[in-house]
Amino acid sequence: MIAFGFVFIHPFADGNGRIHRYLIHHMLFARGFSEKGLVFPVSAVILERMNEYREVLESFSSPGLDLIDWTPTPDHNVKIKNETIDIYRFFNATKHAEFLYDCVLQTIDKNLPEEIDYLLKYDEMKNFIDNTFDMPGKTVSLLITFLNQGKGKLSKRALSKEFANLTTKEVELIQETYETIFNK
């Protein structure tokens, strides 16, 4: 309720959404849901579900617009001309809590396991490249990024620029190994 209440009050011209998501993280920590120093990545899920997030926000804010007397300001903001505290003081946050709960659940059940699986595969691929080729760390990272983008294949541009020194057999070995590791 604190985080959603903050975003509804919208006290700043910019950064309200970021502070709103920070407050969610802070409250999860304050309630013992996450450990100190760990940022539980629920924000990524919220941003993934942006349309649903917007609908949840509008489920409260849209009906209240008729109760607010406002005018636009020259800096593309709004000036509130009447007292609005009673609109926000005891709002029904059921939809907001349910949305956040679903996002936390998705983070635990889907996003974190997928991220851990990816990181394990990334490390395995990096170890293979490190043990097989003599490449700087940045180049290894770039190679894996290009393989991810190309679904296991290096683009013609990457082969002609960043990885022009690789032989055809080396490229085939790298792509076959990527396929083996990432499509287990």
Residues 103 and 137 in one domain: no
State whether the Cα torsion 153-159-162-164 is positive or negative.
Answer: positive
Task: Please write the tens of the pLDDT for every residue from 116-145.
Answer: 999 999 999 999 999 999 999 999 999 999
Among residues 81, 112, 143, the one where a domain terminates is 112
Give the domain extent around 108: 2-112
Structure tokens of 31? 């309630």
Residues 10 and 93 in one domain: yes
Residues 145 and 99 in one domain: no
How many structural domains compose the chain? 2
Q: Is residue 55 part of a domain?
A: yes
Residues 85 and 145 in one domain: no
Task: Please write the tens of the pLDDT for every residue from 66-91.
Answer: 889 999 999 888 888 999 888 878 88
CA-based nearest residue to 81, from 71, 91, 93: 71
Residues 139 and 61 in one domain: no
Residues 53 and 98 in one domain: yes
Residues 52 and 92 in one domain: yes
pTM confidence score: 0.75
Residue 136 is which amino acid? P
Q: Is residue 62 part of a domain?
A: yes
